[in-house]
Amino acid sequence: MNWLIISGTNRPQSNTLKVSNHLAGLLKTNLRDQNENVAVLDLQNLPLEIFAPSAYASKPSSFDSFREAVLKADAVISVLPEYNGSAPGVFKYFLDMLPFPQSLQKIPCAFVGLSSGRFGSLRSVEHMQQIFGYRNAFIFPERIFIPAVDKSIDENGKPKEDFIQQLMEQMMIGFILFTRSLRKPS
């Protein structure tokens, strides 16, 4: 199976990427089959050509690896900061550039939010759950919100509080079970 974690911002040296990488490690640890693929998609690496107005009509070939990563994913975890009360514009734009309806359709998806404020990106996660629902994704009901992220994680994205670390571990186990139950071969 292909597990994809999307780091939902293009901000350099972001806490979002740190948390995404930490989650990737937890996911790998909890997978039964160590041959399964876990990848982190960093929106910081999006090609500049994708932002040209002409990209709506014709996607540049430099975007192919991003599109293919999502289309080949058997499960997706989106890690989202909160910008201006919602998800970063680059994340929404990235979704707009993906093929519709086939990307995310009937794919198990989970969400982790983080913010410098007290609510841990609740708004951005709920907003993206609406959009993913519109795209017919299977939404994992458990979410994690990391408030005061600057003080809550170390330089590697690992939570300083055992409680948040336990939530992450439980979420990865639950999401694996959720995904396996939905992706059983027919």
What integer pLDDT is reported at residue 185 of this predicted model? 62
- Summarised one tens digit per residue, pLDDT across range 57-97 is 999 999 999 999 999 999 999 999 999 889 999 999 999 99
pLDDT digits (tens, 9 = 90+) for 133-170: 999 999 999 999 999 999 999 999 999 999 999 999 99
DSSP secondary structure string, 138-168? EEEEEEEEE-SHHHHB-TTS-BSSHHHHHHH
Tell me the whole-structure pTM to 2 decimals: 0.95
Per-domain boundaries in the chain: 2-182
Contact 24, 87 (CB under 8 A): no
Q: Which residues of 143-152 are buried (b: 16+ CB within 10 A; e: fewer)?
A: bbbbbebeeb
According to the model, what pLDDT value does residue 120 have? 83
Given the candidates 3.10.129.10, 3.40.50.360, 3.10.180.10, 1.20.1250.20, the CATH classification of the domain at 2-182 is 3.40.50.360
**Where do the DSSP E strands lie in 56-164?**
75-81, 108-114, 138-146
Instruction: Give me the mean pLDDT over the 17-38 stretch.
Output: 93
Q: Does position 186 have pLDDT exceeding 90, yes or no?
A: no
Region for residue 85 given its phi and psi (left: phi exceeds 0; alpha: psi -120 to 50; beta: otherwise): left
Mean pLDDT of the chain: 94
- pLDDT value, residue 119: 83
Residue 149 is predicted with a pLDDT of 93
Over residues 8-16, the mean pLDDT reads: 96
